[in-house]
Structure 1
Amino acid sequence: MSRRGNCYDNAYMENFFGHLKSEEIYLNSYTSRDDLETAVHSYIRWYNYDRLQSKLNSNTPIEYKRAA
């Protein structure tokens, strides 16, 4: 939850949701809620463990966190 009057508190989550929508949700169609839920869980796992990110020196979030 963001503090009142501070729009920057949720910037990281808004950025992630933008990636989720553009890289997964908008590119696929889902026949059921279970299919969508499975896809979101798979995307989150891929995002954290496999997706290289330039802001993290070409590491995944998990690799970057372990190195800290």
Structure 2
Amino acid sequence: MLHRPIEPKQYTSITYTSRLVEAEIEEASVGSTGDSYDNAAAEALTKLFKKEVVWRNGPWSGRDSVEYAVMEWVHWYNNSRIHSRCSDMAPMAFEALHYTRSRRPVEARVLEPAL
């Protein structure tokens, strides 16, 4: 049985569109469809997740085991896995260092009233 190609409008779910309306977001870019440029970073992350978790640990016993594996992997990915783009640090540590370094003390100024 052959399936027809998915129509571009089917890439954007009704739930997603409804949520945009509720949030009063008039226009949202969902990128192009059907090519490798629509969200390359997300696609690379999904591929890595599938390689490291889904294919290595399947078949799954149920939804709960998959949800737990996702949470566990995301926590590990953000808190333990070193990334070369983050100076060989975990993303959370890199972000904390960034915000620590970027905070500058604010000088208090006393304004004298004009006479």
Q: Aligned ranges for residues 1-68 of structure 1 at < 5 Å?
A: 2-4=30-32, 8=37, 10-29=39-58, 30-68=60-98
In the alignment of these two chains, the number of paired residues is: 68
TM-score of the superposition, structure 2-length normalised? 0.51
Which structure would you say has the larger RCO, counting Cα contacts within 8 Å and 6 or more residues apart? 1
Q: Where does the alignment leave 5 or more consecutive residues of structure 2 unmatched?
A: 1-28, 99-115
TM-score of the superposition, structure 1-length normalised? 0.81
Deviation at 1:3, TM superposition (A): 3.0
Q: Where does the alignment leave 5 or more consecutive residues of structure 1 unmatched?
A: none
Structure 1's 64 and 8: CA in aligned 2 closer, same or farther, altered over 3 A?
Answer: farther
Provide the C-alpha distance between the structure 2 equivalents of 1:55 and 1:46, rounded to a whole number of angstroms.
17
Provide the C-alpha distance between the structure 1 equivalents of 2:97 and 2:86, rounded to a whole number of angstroms.
11
Deviation at 1:65, TM superposition (A): 1.1
Provide the C-alpha distance between the structure 1 equivalents of 2:73 and 2:81, rounded to a whole number of angstroms.
10
Structure 1 counterpart of 2:89, which letter?
N
In our comparison, the structure showing a higher alpha carbon Rg is: 2
Provide the C-alpha distance between the structure 2 equivalents of 1:8 and 1:59, rounded to a whole number of angstroms.
28
Deviation at 1:9, TM superposition (A): 5.6
For 2:112, the equivalent position in structure 1 comes to: none
Pairwise CA RMSD of aligned residues? 2.1
